[in-house]
Amino acid sequence: MSASPIQTDPLSSAERDAVYKCIFNRRDVRGQFLPDPIPDEVLGRILRASHHAPSVGFMQPWDFIVVRDPAVKRRVWESFQTANREAAERFDDQRRPIYRTLKLEGILEAPIGICITCDRKRSGPVVIGRTHQGEMDLYSAVCAVQNLWLAARAENIGVGWVSILRHRDLRAALDIPSSIWPIAYLCVGYVSHFFARPELETAGWLPRVPLREVLWFDQWHNRSGSETLLDHLD
Amino acid sequence: MSASPIQTDPLSSAERDAVYKCIFNRRDVRGQFLPDPIPDEVLGRILRASHHAPSVGFMQPWDFIVVRDPAVKRRVWESFQTANREAAERFDDQRRPIYRTLKLEGILEAPIGICITCDRKRSGPVVIGRTHQGEMDLYSAVCAVQNLWLAARAENIGVGWVSILRHRDLRAALDIPSSIWPIAYLCVGYVSHFFARPELETAGWLPRVPLREVLWFDQWHNRSGSETLLDHLD
């Protein structure tokens, strides 16, 4: 008798609907973090879900750094502050004042940060599936980010991805060696509420793109032949 | 009265468990595809879930090309064949014969392919969150891949990511312009069954890395101070 069965059960329609609820209600959280600690068993589940992301050639190239030390968080936050001031200058006169009003991170408020990295040499020089697309290891680590994000949402825990950071500053704050690629710094914690829509959509920064405008059939920019699918997009 | 509420409901513990079931039972499918067509309403749900991935600055940089034409699939498959022969040569004498026995794609068997791309200029020259990490648009498109993968699993539909392909061949097969970055070519379809474990793990190619070996606290390679979390990883 094997410890694991060969096959797995199908998901029920109720389980399917739960997955969609999680996907559609996931938000990038910046300002609604509560200080409540995340129990170890909950954090353990979220990390396990992230670790079960797909990875090219089963490479599992990720590491996780859980940040709880306020001094470390402050270093990351200071790096964000520097980068964010520079970022504001890059927007035009019309966008810049709006940009400056946006809250774009919750580094200090979130009870923990989680940095996900990619070790590009994890499983040796030749990796199945990476021979012709060298970036696949980085993409695997991004899949781990998205798994973590959805698992957290399933636990009613918010996640915000802070990308207004220089990699070299993040490496310095967390003592990450130069051989390791930072992928994401995530703010993680319980929240007062989840918004129904992305904040940048609500703020009028950009609209949701209609799905039918980015959907093609058989060839780039070909729309013919699949009108019935287009009826099921909204 | 707004068409959308400001806040969303929490997920129940049953809904949480469904999300974990989906995450832990997701597989990279290569050999179990059935020819059954995917109903438009099901495919529409999966694509909508992918389109609701997080994206840097709400950029939504992705396009989706749904491939049903057997002639187009064949061109993609021929590109895979070429790349896969080259790939085999890169493994050492011990690994090469094993590599050649592995089934690594289901391009022709899967009823559809879905190519997800990234338009790096989608929302203009300056994007919130991309000022200091230029790769964030690519990572957003990868999050769309992972959303699609999990939504498909929730529908009991298998997905396999084929990365043993040259981008230029994929562009040629699907008429993708050079300004657009291919992210993933996915084989998508109902399956006879989902394996309980990744095929490369079962085949003994690589083992599952113990999570505790890639988990750190506050600083890279620091393990002290979080022994209680380590107890909750297995």
Query: Using an 8 Å Cβ cutoff, are A219 and B72 in contact?
Result: yes
CA distance B174 to B229: 47
What predicted TM-score, i.e. pTM, was given to this entire model? Answer: 0.97
Specify the pLDDT at position A178: 96
How many CB atoms neighbour CB A24 within 10 A?
A: 15
Helix (H, G, I), strand (E, B) or coil at B132: coil
Q: Name the CATH code of domain B14-207 (choices 3.90.1150.10, 3.40.109.10, 3.40.50.1820, 3.40.50.1360).
A: 3.40.109.10
Q: Give the confidence band of A1 by pLDDT, cuts at 50, 70, 90.
A: very low
What are the residue boundaries of the structural domains of chain A, listed by start?
Answer: 26-207
Helix (H, G, I), strand (E, B) or coil at B25: helix
Helix (H, G, I), strand (E, B) or coil at A50: helix
- End-to-end CA distance of chain B: give it in Å, rounded: 47
ipTM above 0.85, yes or no: yes
Quote the minimal CA–CA distance from B151 to chain A in Å.
Answer: 7
Q: Is A136 on the interface with B (CB under 8 A)?
A: yes
Fold of A26-207: NADH Oxidase (3.40.109)
Does B5 contact A43 at a Cβ distance shorter than 8 Å? no
CB hemisphere CA count around B224 (13 angstroms): 0
User: DSSP states of B67-88 as a string?
Assistant: E--HHHHHHHHHHHHHHHHHHH
Query: Using an 8 Å Cβ cutoff, are B10 and A156 in contact?
Result: yes
Residue B14 is encoded by which pair of tokens? 């049953």
For chain B, 234 residues long, give each residue's pLDDT as a single digit of tens. 344 557 888 999 999 999 999 999 999 999 999 999 999 999 999 999 999 999 999 999 999 999 999 999 999 999 999 999 999 999 999 999 999 999 999 999 999 999 999 999 999 889 999 999 999 999 999 999 999 999 999 999 999 999 999 999 999 999 999 999 999 999 999 999 999 999 999 999 999 999 999 999 999 999 987 778 988 887
Does B180 contact A133 at a Cβ distance shorter than 8 Å? no
Element spanning A213, H or E:
none
Q: Angle CA(B62)–CA(B29)–CA(B31) in degrees, nearest 5?
A: 135
CA distance A53 to A51: 6
How many contacts (CB atoms, under 8 Å) link A and B?
Answer: 349
Q: Is B181 on the interface with A (CB under 8 A)?
A: no
Q: Is A181 on the interface with B (CB under 8 A)?
A: no
Window B:92-121, CB contacts with A under 8 Å = 92, 95, 99, 102, 104
The separation between CA A157 and the C-alpha centre of its own chain, rounded to angstroms, equals 13
CA distance B188 to B148: 10
Tell me the percentage of chain A whose pLDDT exceeds 70: 98
Residues of A in contact with B65 (CB under 8 A): 216-220
Residues A30, B22, B10, A17, CA torsion sign: positive
* Out of B18, B194, B205, closest to residue A18 by CB: B18
